[in-house]
Amino acid sequence: MRRALPFFGLFGAALLLPLFSNDYWAVIGARAAVYWILVGGLNLVVGYGGQLAIGYVALLTLGAYTSAVLVAKFGVDPFVSYGAAGLVGAVAGVVVGLPALRLRTFYFAMTTLGFATIVTQVALAWQSVTGGGIGIGGPELPKPFDSPWGFYLFALALAAFVTWLSSNVAQSRFGRALVAVRDAEVAAEAVGISKPHLLTTVFLFAGACAGVAGGLFATLQSYITPEAFSFDLSVTFFIAILVGGRGSILGPLIGNIILTLLPEFAAPLVAWSTFLYAALLLGIVLAMPGGIAAMIDFKNRRPLASNRAILPNPALISGHGTARGDIVLKNVVLAFGGVRAIDGLDMTIRPGEVHGLIGPNGSGKTTTLNVISGYYAPQEGEAFLGASPLPHGAPRARAALGIARTFQTPRLIGEASVLENVMIGATIEGNASFVESVFSLPRHHRDEKHLTAKAMQALATVGLERLAEVRADRLQHSELRFMEIARALILNPAFILLDEPAAGLSGDEIKRLGELIKAMAAQGIGVLLVEHHADLIFDICDHVTVLNLGKELASGSPADIRAHKEVVSAYLGG
């Protein structure tokens, strides 16, 4: 509830605006509201999803012309025309957005920019429908929305509605998944997040918002020509979000208000406004990447206790998911270029066992882990879970099979809280659909309650519960390692794959990590442990496999391995 206070403050103040200002301000206020309807949706794409869509003015244009043409040429009801504009916007949003699934950031930015140019040119050339350069009248609303203040309040209500919708998305598993795709795409895949589904949904939503905003924009302008949809406008939307700060609703809302109002207060600078916005963008990127949101994030300014220790509570590890048998690798071969990273490997990981995997650099340890977790498809051989083969090259499918993992370098979502980072791990357990989350329906609340409780339990297990609300990028390296383990444990996995979890940990922390891992196995979880710390491996493993040049050099109990002469020399050299 406290989070909603600033929004009530802003919209409350906006409601009071008619009491002490003139019609001119009604138009400015309505403009800010209409822009926000677009920016509020775009914020999920840019701020949360990290997709650099710089040409969103194209969707505004499409929405505006859809609405204006339907009303002027076909006599459609203006409100219905807004709906149609939203529909067209949603479809176009997906069309413009889809390249993001395939293209890298700069490419995607360019395609949206190109699309914006094309739409304006078509609007200019298609005179029979759009009126070309002469333009077309915008839809006129019936009473009481035909007055400046009437329209203002209508737009304000819609803006408030969009704010509510977008913050519902942001605080759902979909919002967290968007940020995960932005900051830690590989980890997002490992927990079962489907980037194509997620982005398509969000592009639909943002496109619909932009389309409706376009319809309202046509009404606001009362007459539209292609010139009204300059690229500068697009840049303003985009910059409002970045100035506001990524991963925030309030920040971009404030950014949007400031950028809309600024030219009114600094009349001599109007000609320079785009220049100033651009300078602002450059300044923000270089000096304050967090934007306004980081500036007003007082909670994360408070210093953290400097000598905090991680004290896991292994007793809290709860029952694991039902294992469907052992993970079995049979004669797996995987080569990169000419180099055989894995060269005919057989291995069995059993539930309730800690299986250590050691070997010198380049012996294929992490590659083996990546085959099991689905990032690489073996060229020969097969990986099984129980009797059924593990699907190749499908990391997303692993979470549903109860296989969780951590990474050699922690893949954190830096700007999200520790709690949210852990909740990401159980994204696939959510039941509410996107629509249910958008409208904050009961199933969405049940999901949130369930995931929060599980995440707190996982955090308590690894000993980080007191840091739950802290932004993850403020944590120390060792804490991030334990956070990743919590993210894996929240899934109640049948198997957990740990990639050098002890790297960078202190001696005490390694000891506690060892106890935690032993407790996992005691609860029936199968653990694959890739590690360099020989003492940890020999302390806690039930079974050790030694790799060299992609082949098994030795396999057996820790005692067998310690006595193995070849192993000792290979390992020492490594």
Partner 1 sequence: MLQAILAAGIAVGATYALIGITYNLMFSASRVMSFTAGQLGMAGGVLGALFIGRMGFPVIPGMILALAGCAIIGLVTEFVAVRPVLGALDQHLYVLSTLGLALMIQQFTAIEWSTEPQPFPRLIGIGEGGPFDEKFWLPVVACAATVGGLEYLYRRTLVGRAFLAIAEDNFAARALGLPERNLRMASYALAGVVGGLAGFASGELLLAFFANGAMLNFLGFVPVALGGLGNNRGALIGGLALGLFQQAANFLVGGVFASVAVFTVFIVVLLVAPQGLFGAPPSRRV
Partner 2 sequence: MPISAAEPLLSVSGLTAGYGKIAVLHGIDLIIRPGEIVALLGPNGAGKTTLLSAVSGLLPWGGQARFAGQDLAGVSPREAARRGLVHVIEGHRVFTQLSVNDNLLLAGYDLPARERASRVEEALSYFPEIAAKRLDKGGALSGGQQQMLAVAQGLVRRPKLLMLDEPSAGLSPVLVDRVLSVAAALRDAGTAVLLVEQLIEKALGLADRVYAMAQGRIVLEADTTEPNLPHRLEQAYFGHDAVPEPGFSRIS
State the residues that interact with partner 2 by CB under 8 A. Answer: 360-362, 476-477, 480, 500, 503-504, 532-535, 538, 562, 568-569, 571-574
User: Is 37 near partner 1 (CB under 8 A)?
Assistant: no
Exposure pattern of 120-130 as b/e (b: 16+ CB <10 Å)?
A: beebeeeeeeb
Contact indicator for 521, 353 with CB cutoff of 8 Å: yes
Structure tokens at 540: 């806690």
Across the beta sheet with 354-358, the strand order is 403-405, 495-499, 526-530, 354-358, 543-548, 551-556
Structure tokens at 518: 């032993």
Region of residue 440 (left: phi > 0; alpha: psi -120 to 50; beta: else): left
# residues contacting partner 1 (CB under 8 A): 45
- Of the candidates 189, 178, 214, 194, the one whose C-alpha atom is nearest the C-alpha of residue 92 is 214
**Biggest CA pair distance of the chain:** 91
User: Is 242 near partner 1 (CB under 8 A)?
Assistant: yes
- By beta-carbon proximity to partner 2, the closer residue of 307 and 361 is 361
First-to-final CA distance of the chain: 55
Our measurement of the distance from residue 483's CA atom to the centroid of its chain's CA atoms, rounded to an integer in Å, reads: 17
The three-state DSSP-derived secondary structure of 40-66 is HHHHHHHHHCCCCCCCCHHHHHHHHHH
Structure tokens at 11: 């919209």
Q: Report the nearest approach of partner 1 to the CB of residue 233 (Å).
A: 13
**Residue ranges in 442-471 that form contacts with partner 1 under rule CB under 8 A:** none
Query: Which range binds partner 1 by CB under 8 A, 75-83, 209-217, 280-288, 313-321?
Result: 280-288
Q: Report the nearest approach of partner 1 to the CB of residue 493 (Å).
A: 19
The three-state DSSP-derived secondary structure of 471-512 is EHHHCCHHHHHHHHHHHHHCCCCCEEEEECCCCCCCHHHHHH
Given 289, 389, 393, 574, the residue binding partner 1 (CB under 8 A) = 289
- By beta-carbon proximity to partner 2, the closer residue of 380 and 535 is 535
* Collapsed DSSP state (helix, strand, coil) of residue 318: coil
User: Is 266 near partner 1 (CB under 8 A)?
Assistant: no
Residue 176, contacted partner among partner 1, partner 2, none, CB below 5-8 A by kind: none
- By beta-carbon proximity to partner 2, the closer residue of 446 and 551 is 551
C-alpha span between 23 and 85 (Å, rounded): 27
User: Is 295 near partner 1 (CB under 8 A)?
Assistant: no
Residue 285, contacted partner among partner 2, partner 1, none, CB below 5-8 A by kind: partner 1
User: Is 124 near partner 1 (CB under 8 A)?
Assistant: yes
Residue 158's φ and ψ, nearest 5 degrees, are -65, -40
Q: Report the nearest approach of partner 1 to the CB of residue 182 (Å).
A: 10
Q: Report the nearest approach of partner 1 to the CB of residue 496 (Å).
A: 17
Residue 500, contacted partner among partner 2, partner 1, none, CB below 5-8 A by kind: partner 2
Residues 126-165, one symbol each (x = binds partner 1 by CB under 8 A, - = not), give: ----------------------------------------
Given 24, 107, 161, 439, the residue binding partner 1 (CB under 8 A) = 107
**Residue ranges in 331-350 that form contacts with partner 1 under rule CB under 8 A:** 336
Q: Report the nearest approach of partner 1 to the CB of residue 175 (Å).
A: 20
User: Is 99 near partner 1 (CB under 8 A)?
Assistant: yes
**Residue ranges in 174-213 that form contacts with partner 1 under rule CB under 8 A:** 186
* Collapsed DSSP state (helix, strand, coil) of residue 74: helix
Q: Report the nearest approach of partner 1 to the CB of residue 281 (Å).
A: 4
Contact indicator for 470, 304 with CB cutoff of 8 Å: yes
C-alpha span between 130 and 230 (Å, rounded): 16
Contact indicator for 365, 503 with CB cutoff of 8 Å: no
Distances (CA, A) of 374 to 399, 421, 499, 551: 11, 22, 15, 20
User: Is 302 near partner 1 (CB under 8 A)?
Assistant: no
Q: Report the nearest approach of partner 1 to the CB of residue 91 (Å).
A: 16
Residue 428, contacted partner among partner 2, partner 1, none, CB below 5-8 A by kind: none
User: Is 275 near partner 1 (CB under 8 A)?
Assistant: yes
Residue 104, contacted partner among partner 2, partner 1, none, CB below 5-8 A by kind: partner 1
Query: Which range binds partner 1 by CB under 8 A, 290-298, 369-377, 521-529, 565-573?
Result: 369-377
Contact indicator for 332, 371 with CB cutoff of 8 Å: yes
Query: Which range binds partner 1 by CB under 8 A, 109-117, 194-202, 312-320, 450-458?
Result: 109-117
Structure tokens at 231: 């690229």
Type of residue numbered 288 = M
C-alpha span between 210 and 155 (Å, rounded): 13
- By beta-carbon proximity to partner 1, the closer residue of 110 and 261 is 110
* Interacting residues toward partner 1 by CB under 8 A: 52, 54, 99, 102-107, 109-111, 113-115, 117-118, 121-122, 124-125, 186, 231, 235, 242, 271-272, 274-275, 277-283, 285-286, 289, 336, 366, 370, 375-376, 407
